[in-house]
Amino acid sequence: MREINSWCVMLERSEFSEALAPPELLARFESVRAESVWRAAMLSDEDCGAQSMDDASPVKWHLAHTTWFFETFILEAYEAGFKPFHQAFRVLFNSYYNGVGEKHPRPRRGLLTRPSRHEVMAYRANVDARMIKLLAGTDVKAGLLELVELGLQHEQQHQELIVTDVMHLLHQNPLYPAYGLPMAVKPAGDLRWHEFGAGVVEIGHQGEAFCFDNELPRHRQFVERFELASRLVTNAEYAEFIAAGGYEEASYWLAEGWDFVAKLTARQPMFWHKRDGAWFEFTSDGLQKLDMAGPVLRLSYYEASAYAQWAAARLPTEAEWEVAAVSGKEFEQMFGVAWQWTSSSYAAYPGFVAAAGAVGEYNGKFMVNQYVLRGSSVATPEGHSRASYRNFFPAGASWQFSGIRLAR
């Protein structure tokens, strides 16, 4: 793992100077690490250890894996006299880094009854103390600061996954128990359309702040004239699609989407339920009457595409979405409500080069068979969103806070 020392220029620049060294980075490290613990605090040990499907992970595993990241990529490379907290954790809590070594199979993470939640928290405390000691040193190199920031951004991604994975887990329980995490969403206003002219635009990250490598390089792209909706599609509007037979009409669906529908036992968003003729939705407060004015959430790409077809519109490209987001025009719910499906396949920007070493596996190797989502959701940690951020999921993923913004 010593080759991690040579990892640099992931962001094609060194954006962390001595001005970002302790105490500022120390405070940020402690704040982000505490947020993960807070998101799990209202859960039982049983909640934290279960895995509801192959694509989700137990909360306990998220808490350990984010700690593993700091121990493996930072402490092992920079700590004098490094010794792992537990040698077996190197395999148990590796996610997909082939350059690190063996991995415990993802579908079997829920079988890890040990280490216990208590032991995982001890692991976090140990690594936190060692990281704080390292960062409090007088000789903090820029490469180390970059890795710490990457680790914090990585942890914030897992903070959102803690929420979405445990919500999927609790939804499997016929008691529909409440998670209890505050996640209020403000209803949007009337639908308006904002027009944009055709032309060459620039997209991708710019500036000195952090970004992931898949947001680079900034580049030019031509877009035709288009219009973008001022807000997200609401539950009421999606309910109209259902009532109109949207899940029974093949012409609205992509071929794979229609196969996806054929395998479903229900014909509505994943967390919707009908009781005595009324719609209810499973939320962090348990099963609640559906807020018709709120945005429709937890849709797959297939469902988003089918709705857009039914509504005589389409999904925006990621270039259109980014152009609109930075235009200065009044859009609602661009951030902090729902990740918004685009019609853009997740692929490398022109000139993209993945970093060398294990950290270079972070984004580039997933650029196949997935679609880009833009914005951020109600579960996204504060400060973890920007116009150039590229989230990505397979077309069938529907347990995330994913919604629809129409284009035409």
pLDDT tens readout for residues 195-207: 999 999 999 999 9
**pLDDT of res. 21:** 52
- The verdict on 122 and 200 lying in the same domain is no
- The verdict on 63 and 150 lying in the same domain is yes
Q: Is the residue at 71 inside a domain?
A: yes
> How many other C-beta atoms are found inside a 10 Å radius of the C-beta of residue 94?
20
Q: Is the residue at 182 inside a domain?
A: no
Asked if residue 10 has pLDDT above 70, the reply is no
**pLDDT of res. 7:** 28
pLDDT > 70: percent of the chain:
94
The domain total for the chain is 2
- The verdict on 31 and 154 lying in the same domain is yes
User: 98-122, pLDDT tens digit by residue?
Assistant: 989 999 999 999 999 999 999 999 9
Instruction: Give the domain CATH number at 390.
Output: 3.90.1580.10
Which pair of structure tokens corresponds to residue 215?
């947001």
Separation CA 234–CA 186 (nearest Å): 12
- The verdict on 111 and 244 lying in the same domain is no
**pLDDT of res. 219:** 98
Task: Provide the mean pLDDT of the chain.
Answer: 92
Backbone angles phi, psi at 89, to 5 degrees: -65, -25
Given 139, 171, 203, the domain boundary residue is: 171
Q: Is the residue at 178 inside a domain?
A: no
Q: Is the residue at 370 inside a domain?
A: yes
Q: Is the residue at 176 inside a domain?
A: no
Among residues 254, 256, 237, 247, the alpha carbon closest in space to that of 311 is found at 237
3-state helix, strand, coil in the chain (%, to 5): 40, 15, 45
Cis peptide before 58 (omega within 30 of 0): no
- The verdict on 94 and 212 lying in the same domain is no
Separation CA 82–CA 63 (nearest Å): 21
- Read off the pLDDT of each residue in 218-243 and give the average, rounded to a whole number: 98
- The verdict on 157 and 207 lying in the same domain is no
Separation CA 363–CA 67 (nearest Å): 19
Instruction: Give the lowest-confidence range in 24-33, 73-82, 138-147.
Output: 138-147
Backbone angles phi, psi at 271, to 5 degrees: -100, 10
**pLDDT of res. 340:** 98
**pLDDT of res. 138:** 60
Given 137, 171, 205, the domain boundary residue is: 171
SS3 371: strand
Which pair of structure tokens corresponds to residue 329?
């025009």
- The verdict on 238 and 383 lying in the same domain is yes
**pLDDT of res. 362:** 82
pLDDT > 90: percent of the chain:
85
Burial pattern 316-341, b for ≥16 Cβ within 10 A else e, equals: bbbbbbbbbbeeeeebbbbbebbbbb
- The verdict on 167 and 242 lying in the same domain is no
- The verdict on 264 and 167 lying in the same domain is no
Residue 3 belongs to what H/E stretch? none
First-to-last C-alpha distance (Å) of the chain: 49
- Read off the pLDDT of each residue in 19-44 and give the average, rounded to a whole number: 88
131: containing domain = 2-171
Q: Is the residue at 188 inside a domain?
A: no
Q: What is the DSSP letter of 113?
A: -
For residue 143, what pLDDT band results from cuts at 50, 70 and 90? confident
Which pair of structure tokens corresponds to residue 239?
């309910």
Asked if residue 11 has pLDDT above 70, the reply is no
- The verdict on 140 and 250 lying in the same domain is no
Given 116, 140, 171, the domain boundary residue is: 171
Is residue 154 within 8 A of residue 69, CB to CB? The reply is yes
User: 240-283, pLDDT tens digit by residue?
Assistant: 999 999 999 999 999 999 999 999 877 999 999 999 999 999 99
- Read off the pLDDT of each residue in 90-99 and give the average, rounded to a whole number: 94
Q: Is the residue at 297 inside a domain?
A: yes
Separation CA 368–CA 347 (nearest Å): 7
- Read off the pLDDT of each residue in 367-396 and give the average, rounded to a whole number: 97
SS3 21: coil
In which residue are the tokens 């580049």 written?
Answer: 219
- The verdict on 108 and 219 lying in the same domain is no
- Read off the pLDDT of each residue in 275-294 and give the average, rounded to a whole number: 97
**pLDDT of res. 359:** 77
- The verdict on 161 and 203 lying in the same domain is no
pTM of the model: 0.93
**pLDDT of res. 22:** 59
Q: Is the residue at 238 inside a domain?
A: yes
